[in-house]
Amino acid sequence: GRGMAGESGFVAAVPKAEGGVGARSLARSRVGRVVEVRVRSLSTLADVQAINTQVAMALLQAGPGAIICADYRFASPFSCQVADAWAHGMRVANGRISGAALLLDPLNTMFNLQVERIVKCAGSPIRRLVTGLGEIQSWLGDSLSAAEWSGIETFLAAGDA
């Protein structure tokens, strides 16, 4: 996407199998303790392993008390194998995060049911499924600086880019 890298931020992209404009998943630490995660398609185990690795690297860069803001509004449903590997990646990350908001499109029913199961399997009450900015602010707002919140707004505004 345009202007998404940030000069000091870590950016890693996982290409979608079919390709296409904006068809990629990424994880990065760009502002403060926030780790931005965008998932479009996790078609294979290699895809989910790559995004799990990139999330882990971004969490290290963000440092203690990292906060995940994930944009899953445009994601595609995935296989059971991918679900299991993604849940494992989330469990591994549990100890490194102080909060997580996972933004969903309410109309993406199948994907949402899958993510709900994965979050439950990850076993951490600090992850919340949300459908809008207001819910993100309610869930994470007290722990975010003004710069971190501004970074989240910029990240989410570019979600369909």
pLDDT digits (tens, 9 = 90+) for 31-45: 999 999 999 999 999
Nearest alpha-carbon partner for 90 in 62, 117, 63: 117
Separation between Cα atoms, residue 92 and residue 94, nearest integer Å: 6
What is residue 40's three-state secondary structure?
Answer: coil
Q: Which residues pair with 12 in a beta bridge?
A: 27
CA 94 to centroid of chain Cα atoms? 14
Confidence (pLDDT) at 39: 95
Low-confidence ranges of the chain (pLDDT < 50): 1-22
Which residue has 């940030």 as its token pair?
Answer: 6
Q: How far separated are the first and last CA of the chain, in Å rounded?
A: 6
Model pTM? 0.84
